[in-house]
Structure formats: C-alpha cells, structure tokens
C-alpha cells in the first residue's frame, strides 16, 4: 500500500530538502511537487532563451539536472525574480489552459505512482486548498512545518486547516529528516 506524506510550510523551511533525502534513503520512495509541471514549462522557456542568446550547451545540462522547481526557476530567472515569474507563469497557464491544469498534471503523476505501488510518495509543496482537499481524500498524512523559512506568494492559504502533525525545523537537518522519516514508516 502506498503512503503519501505532504509537507506544508514557508519557502526555505526544508520541505524539499527532507523530501529529497527521504526519497534517497527509503527504497522506492519518490519526492514529487505540485509545481513540477511549471518547472518543465520554465525549462522550455529557458531552452528558448538559451538558444536565442546563443549560450553554451552545458548550461542546458545544468538546468535540466536541477532537482526542484524552485531551483529551476532561480537558475532561469534569477534569485530576485523567480517568485514573481512562477506566479506569473502559473497565472498565465491558469487563465489560458484552465485553472487546475498544473494541479491535474501533478495529481495524475501521483496517481500513477500510487497505481505502480510506489511505497512512499512525499509531496514537498502543499500550498493550495484544492491540493489539501484532494490529498486529505487520498488519506495522505499532512504535515505542517514551522520554525524556518520566509514568506512565499502562496503562504498562509492553509493556515486555518487542520494538519495531522506539526514538526518544527530548528535548523538541525538530521533531526528534521529523522522526525519526518519516522512518520514515513508504515
């Protein structure tokens, strides 16, 4: 049976770091992001930008080697512009292709992993009410992360929701990974 864990907390609170560590440490586990489809789109924009600017092919390899949507956006648009660009791309995709397209793509990916009996799925970017509602209906363990991070464009949208567990990340990465890892066990 597949177990789904979803992490909610501010940008920089360690959600992606812990998800990647657990995916590396637990056989068969997968870390996924609702924003991954947007990262793919950002990658496509970057490819066009690179070829237009006649940049080196190695840059493309480095870009595609990134492990998270945030890192892809930072690399493509820069540290000071990635959040507005992510929000802008999300708004354009929503208005042109439908409000839930990115969510539906990510949800389909999670359901495929579940169908393929992946033992553990760790969602590292729970942000929106419809994501929360769907994950709750799937029986996911919903974890609120507190103690670190910075305000994000989507922070606060789930502050009034009930979470199964609240974990404090005080900066001790190994302790944080261990705390979430204990919850990952069947």
Per-residue pLDDT at 131: 93
Per-residue pLDDT at 157: 84
What is d(CA 38, CA 162) in angstroms, rounded to the nearest whole number? 27
Per-residue pLDDT at 71: 64
**Which residues of the chain are under the pLDDT cut of 70?**
39-76, 82-83, 86-87, 98-99, 149, 151-155, 186
CA dist 73 → 7, 33, 109, 123 (Å): 20, 14, 21, 18
Q: Please write the tens of the pLDDT for every residue from 144-154.
A: 988 776 766 55
CB 75 within 8 A of CB 46: yes
What is d(CA 33, CA 107) in angstroms, rounded to the nearest whole number? 10
Q: Please write the tens of the pLDDT for every residue from 80-91.
A: 776 677 667 777
Domains of the chain: 3-184 (3.40.50.300)
């Amino acid at each position: 049976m597949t177990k789904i864990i979803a992490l909610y907390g501010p940008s920089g609170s360690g959600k992606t770091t812990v998800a990647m560590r657990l995916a590396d440490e637990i056989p068969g586990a997968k870390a996924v992001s609702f924003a991954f489809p947007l990262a793919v789109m950002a990658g496509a924009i970057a490819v066009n930008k690179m070829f237009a600017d006649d940049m080196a092919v190695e840059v493309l390899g480095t870009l595609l080697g990134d492990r998270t949507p945030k890192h892809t956006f930072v690399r493509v648009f820069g540290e000071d512009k990635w959040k507005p660009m992510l929000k802008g791309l999300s708004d354009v995709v929503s208005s042109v292709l439908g409000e839930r397209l990115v969510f539906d793509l990510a949800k389909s990916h999670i359901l495929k992993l579940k169908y393929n009996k992946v033992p553990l799925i760790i969602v590292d970017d729970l942000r929106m009410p419809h994501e929360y509602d769907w994950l709750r209906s799937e029986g996911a363990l919903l974890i609120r992360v507190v103690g670190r991070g910075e305000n994000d464009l989507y922070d606060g949208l789930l502050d009034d929701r009930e979470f199964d567990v609240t974990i404090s990340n005080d900066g001790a990465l190994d302790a944080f990974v261990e705390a979430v890892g204990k919850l990952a066990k069947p």
